[in-house]
């Protein structure tokens, strides 16, 4: 495959602030970076990851998505009466920039107090360059007026998709907008399908036997180190791992949720190094999966291209 041109070049860590101050939904001080974002370049099967640090990760889990059939989110900036209003969409490459957004209701009023906590946060922001080579997952901080803000650094030129993943009234919603970074954009091809990737010395194998479009598919990730099963995965935002799945072509954002994690299998020490998810792929085709998990206090990010058969 052609040169992982800029593998490794994207490692970066963002400091960001987020606040769990949900209740009160007011008076939150916009400083105090507490988490970081992960950025990372996935490129070729099997590696090509970089970046991360302590981070927030966690994909998406919303609660009941009402609606039948596979739901593909992230394709609209406005849906179900709610609208994502970014305060800016232009960025300079590599320049830390404050990014603020509002979620407004059908009457244009900022939603402030209605957010429900999912995976320990009221709102998850996923930013992915459209070629999927760069991935970040951050948690903006909510301010008294309902504005969410976070410091974002988009490392390379290109068009990015920014997904705001949140839950209101028990329904998960993912609204998204494009962000633009000027400069000489060098797109990277989607890596070929693969079931292995690694980060920080941890090798992670994806098992997705029987995965198919439409019905629910189980995806299991097994973490090992130097050929041995890794130690128990640490809890990260209330789960053993967080997964985001994007469809190749339109970057539709899938609803994925952990199937084994906190509550069940507490006794199953043989699988402490594994985390499983249920995903409903809305159609056959290729998807890019981004898994984040925590070991030794560090957030790791691995990515896979998966081919979902009909």
**Interface with Cu ion (CB under 5 A):** 58, 124
Q: How far is the CB of 178 from Cu ion (least distance, A)?
A: 20
CB closer to Cu ion out of 33 and 309: 33
Q: Which residue is nearest to Cu ion (CB)?
A: 124
CB closer to Cu ion out of 47 and 139: 139
Q: How far is the CB of 184 from Cu ion (least distance, A)?
A: 31
Q: How far is the CB of 189 from Cu ion (least distance, A)?
A: 28
Q: How far is the CB of 97 from Cu ion (least distance, A)?
A: 20
| Distance from C-alpha of 71 to C-alpha of 216, rounded to nearest angstrom | 12
One-letter-per-residue 3-state SS of the chain: CCCCCCCCCCCCCEEECCCCCCCCCCCCCCCCCCEEECCCCCECCCECCCCCCCCCCCCCCCCCCCCCCCCEECCCCEECCEEEEECCCEECCCCCEEEEEEEECCCCCECCCCEECECCECEEEEEEECCCCCEEEECCEECCCCCEEEEECCCCCEEEEEEEEEEECCEEEEEEEEEEECCCCCCCCCCCCCCEEEECCEEEEEECCCCCECCCEEEEEEEEECCEECCCCECECCECCEEEEEECCCCCEECEEEEECCCCCCCCHHHCCEEEEEECECCCEEEEEEEEEEECCEEEEEEEEEEECC
CB closer to Cu ion out of 58 and 274: 58
CB closer to Cu ion out of 49 and 167: 167
CB closer to Cu ion out of 153 and 167: 167
CB closer to Cu ion out of 191 and 258: 258
Q: How far is the CB of 192 from Cu ion (least distance, A)?
A: 28
Q: How far is the CB of 66 from Cu ion (least distance, A)?
A: 22
Q: How far is the CB of 242 from Cu ion (least distance, A)?
A: 7
CB closer to Cu ion out of 299 and 308: 299
């Amino acid at each position: 495959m052609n040169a992982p041109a800029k593998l490794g070049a994207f490692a970066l860590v963002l400091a960001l602030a987020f606040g769990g101050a949900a209740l009160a939904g007011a008076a939150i001080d916009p400083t105090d970076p507490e988490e970081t974002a992960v950025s990372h370049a996935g490129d070729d099967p099997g590696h090509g990851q970089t970046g991360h640090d302590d981070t927030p990760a966690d994909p998406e889990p919303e609660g009941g998505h009402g609606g039948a059939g596979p739901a593909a989110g992230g394709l609209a900036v406005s849906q179900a009466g709610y609208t994502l209003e970014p305060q800016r969409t232009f960025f300079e490459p590599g320049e830390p920039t404050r990014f603020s957004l509002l979620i407004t209701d059908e009457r244009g009023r900022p939603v402030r107090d209605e957010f429900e906590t999912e995976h320990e946060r009221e709102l998850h922001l996923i930013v992915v360059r459209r070629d999927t080579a760069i991935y970040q997952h951050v948690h903006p901080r909510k301010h008294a007026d309902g504005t969410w803000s976070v410091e974002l650094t988009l490392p390379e030129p290109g068009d990015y998709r920014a997904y705001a993943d949140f839950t209101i009234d028990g329904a998960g919603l993912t609204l998204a907008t494009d962000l633009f970074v000027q400069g000489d954009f060098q797109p990277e091809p989607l890596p070929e399908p693969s079931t292995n990737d690694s980060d920080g010395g941890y090798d992670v194998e994806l098992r997705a036997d029987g995965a198919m479009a439409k019905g629910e598919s189980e995806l299991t990730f097994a973490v090992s180190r130097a050929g041995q099963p890794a130690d128990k995965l640490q809890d990260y935002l209330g789960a053993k791992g967080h997964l985001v799945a994007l469809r190749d072509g339109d970057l539709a954002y899938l609803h994925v949720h952990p199937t084994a994690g906190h509550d069940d299998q507490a006794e199953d020490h043989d699988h402490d190094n594994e985390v499983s998810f249920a995903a409903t792929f809305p159609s056959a085709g290729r998807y890019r999966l981004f898994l984040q998990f925590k070991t030794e206090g560090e957030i790791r990010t691995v990515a896979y291209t998966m081919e979902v058969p009909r």
